[in-house]
Structure 1
């Protein structure tokens, strides 16, 4: 076995694919989810260990930490994939939305990185922390200011933890743009979204799987952000 990886937010989309793919690659995956979905049964059948955890509930985060520490005295890595995407809303909603975004994208990853520092440093090979950020961390967003700010904070945390944990733990970010459309997305929206990048297409989940594997297989890269955006910054 290649070691144990903790992946947050494996209930659907990229997190679900990452958990199944890396489990098949020989890692033992511990995955967190907030909402029980039928798709999780497939991960369980593969041997993925699933732990329900709502990051907005402090007692559940504490329970997650205790559970993982008991199960895994050594961690090969943590992939912070759990995410929420809320518009800022009205003036009355905006501050609460900011707190919600910061909790999921900053406070809990910060807490988990500190809580599992001993387990990461105990890994028998170089360990990894990977923060899944977003293209908007650099560009900003008119309608999702809180979301963009929280992802920018997560990206900045990459720099600090890379310094703190080197050389035993590499800490990097992956900043995707358009990876997968949602089922409810209209064709009009898809055309508009694809046109925002030079590649003019939906990347597909394989791009994220390859990006994660690239970082995990590197023995040298740390404190960096890997952009998976199809050249969107040049449009």
Structure 2
């Protein structure tokens, strides 16, 4: 897929990996809708960064765990753009709970992580699918995590939710073929605001990686764009983790 001229929706696009993806897509000539739930200032700053370089972007609010908000967002964008070509399902949350501390895993933690990380991605994919089918072309990338592969992460519910994202990717690839490709990029540790207050832990982790340092958001964004561009790829889980899962 040639990204120039395409219309792209990036969920959670105001910060971290989402911001990097929004910038990378715009650099390749795509018009970008930067979705946010609560981070309005960050999303608007991402839009300003894109526009300052001559790109096309707008911020759009929706809580991806609320299907009616997702449908309203997609219908508005598709109406303005006459379709949607690309969806990057990036919006996710976590809870920091020690993996061995099962007693601290509450129903609320399970509900929040699955509502946003899994159901939210499904709602967004289902909402854009009719528009992509109408065009007989579209591409979706879900942002997973190596936590969904290794079973280790910021919390047990987070790791399980990302494993579900990987399964969702494969199932959607089956359901939406042949005109819509669905893949997943699964990052390892990435230097984002999730690590604020845990810098020492990140430094210790970086020392164990085969490449000696953690990825930055731009690393993940470049892979996501490459996956979108590769038209012979669907149903795949691609890790970008500096050797963390070895």
1:105 to 117, 126, 130: 117
When the two structures are aligned, how many residues end up with a matched partner?
233
Structure 2 CA distance for partners of 1:92 and 1:208, relative to 1, 3 Å: closer
Map residues 12-91 of structure 1 onto 2, 5 A cutoff. 12-34=15-37, 35-38=39-42, 40-44=44-48, 46=51, 47-88=56-97, 91=103
2:200 to 181, 188, 201: 188
Give the equivalent residue in structure 1 for 2:130. 118
TM-score using structure 2 length: 0.85
1:200 lines up with 2:200 in the alignment: no
Unaligned 5+ runs, structure 1: none
C-alpha separation in 2, matches of 1:99 and 1:227: 26
Give the equivalent residue in structure 1 for 2:187. 176
Q: Relative contact order (C-alpha < 8 Å, sep 6+): which is higher?
A: 2
- 1:38 to partner: Cα distance: 4.8
Give secondary structure in 1 for the equivalent of 2:47. helix
- 1:87 to partner: Cα distance: 2.8
Q: Does the CA-based 8 Å contact 2:173-2:181 persist in structure 1?
A: yes
Give the equivalent residue in structure 2 for 1:3. 6
Q: Does the CA-based 8 Å contact 2:21-2:222 persist in structure 1?
A: no
C-alpha separation in 1, matches of 2:202 and 2:42: 27
Unaligned 5+ runs, structure 2: none
Give the equivalent residue in structure 2 for 1:219. 231
Residues 187-215 of structure 1 deviation map (CA, whole Å, 9 limit, x = unaligned): 52232120342112022223112201211
- 1:59 to partner: Cα distance: 4.3
